[in-house]
Amino acid sequence: MSGGDHAPVAAVTGGAGGIGEACVRRLRSDGWQVVVLDIDIDQARAVAERHGAVAHAIDLADERSIEEAAAFVEREVGPCQGLAAVAAHLENPHRPESQDYAEWEDILRVNLTGTFRTLTCFGRGMLERRSGSIVTVGSITAFNSSPLQAYGPTKAAIINISRNLAVAWGRSGIRVNCVCPGPTRTPAVEASYARGERNPDTMIRETALGRLVRPEEVANAIAFLLSEDAGAITGIELPVDSGTLATQLWGLYGGVPEPMER
Ligand SMILES: NC(=O)c1ccc[n+]([C@@H]2O[C@H](COP(=O)([O-])OP(=O)(O)OC[C@H]3O[C@@H](n4cnc5c(N)ncnc54)[C@H](O)[C@@H]3O)[C@@H](O)[C@H]2O)c1
C-alpha cells in the first residue's frame, strides 16, 4: 500500500491510548490514512501529530458522538475501509459483592453498547461500498473467569458481537475479527502497577513466554487482520497474550517450567 491522498482510510477508536497509538503508528507505516478517535482529544491530537494522522473526538457513551465521528471520517477524510475498535473503559480487580453499579453501567455503556454502535455506524459506509475490514479488541478475560467483574463480560460480548457481524456482513464484503490481548505494558497498565492495583511479576509467572506483551505486538496483529493479507480470515479471535491462555493447567503441576539448561 502506498501513502498519500488515495491511501485507504482507517479509523482507530481509543487511538490516544497505549495500544491505540501503537496501531496508529503501524497503520501509518503500512500506508493507511489514519483518523485517531478518542474521548481524550488533547492526547488524540498529540498522537495524530506524532504520526501524521487526523484527530477527532468520540465518546462511546454518547450515540450522537459516534454517529458524528463516523460522518466526519467519511466527509472529511474519505471512505472508511478499516476500523480498529480499541477504545474501552478499563477496570480494577475486585470482589463481585463490592461491585460499584455506577461503574458497571459506565463499562457496559462504553464497552458493550458503544462498541456495537461504533461497528454499526462505521459499517454503514462499508456496507454501501461492499468493502471493509473491522478489528475489535477483546481480552483474554473473555475466555475464563477473572476478578474483572464488569469488564470481562463486556469483552466476552465483544467476541460474540464480532462473530455475529462477521456472518451478517460477510457476503457484503466486510470482514470482522477480534484481537484478544493478554496483559500488555501500556502506560495505563504501567500506572496501575505503580498504584499497586496489579503486579507485573505475578502476571509474568502466568505467561508461557515469561514476559508481558508489548503494545506494538497487539498492533501488529490488528494491522494484519485489517490488511488484505488476511483476506480469507473473518469471525476469529486471535489471542496476543505471551501464551497466558495456554498455561492454564500448569499451576496444578507446579507452574510453568524454567528454561531448559543448555
Ligand atoms: N493493556 C492491557 O493489558 C490490555 C489487556 C487486554 C485488553 N486490552 C484492551 O486493549 C484496549 C486498549 O487498552 P490500553 O491498555 O491501550 O488502554 P488505554 O487506557 O491506554 O486506552 C484506552 C483508550 O480508550 C479511550 N476511551 C476510554 N473511554 C472512552 C470513551 N467513552 N469514548 C472514547 N474513547 C474512550 C481512552 O481515552 C484511552 O485513550 C482496550 O480495549 C483494552 O480493554 C488491554
Residue spans of the domains in the chain: they are 9-253
Domain 9-253 part of CATH 3.40.50.720 = yes
Told to judge if 101 belongs to the known catalytic residues of this protein, a careful annotator would answer no
The answer, yes or no, to whether any atom of ligand 1 lies below 6 A from the CB of 89, is yes
- Which residue lies with its CA nearest to atom 38 of ligand 1? 17
Q: Note the pLDDT tens digit of each residue in 126-168.
A: 999 999 999 999 999 999 999 999 999 999 999 999 999 999 9
Burial of 113 (0-12, 13-18, 19+ CB in 10 A): middle
d(CA 231, CA 176): 11
Q: Note the pLDDT tens digit of each residue in 215-251.
A: 999 999 999 999 999 999 999 999 999 999 999 999 9
- Which residue lies with its CA nearest to atom 25 of ligand 1? 14
Closest CA to 242 of 172, 185, 177, 168: 185
> 252 C-alpha to center of ligand 1: Å?
32
Q: Predicted confidence band at 6 (pLDDT cuts at 50, 70, 90)?
A: confident
> 18 C-alpha to center of ligand 1: Å?
7
Q: Note the pLDDT tens digit of each residue in 15-71.
A: 999 999 999 999 999 999 999 999 999 999 999 999 999 999 999 999 999 999 999
Choose between 4 and 181: higher pLDDT. Answer: 181
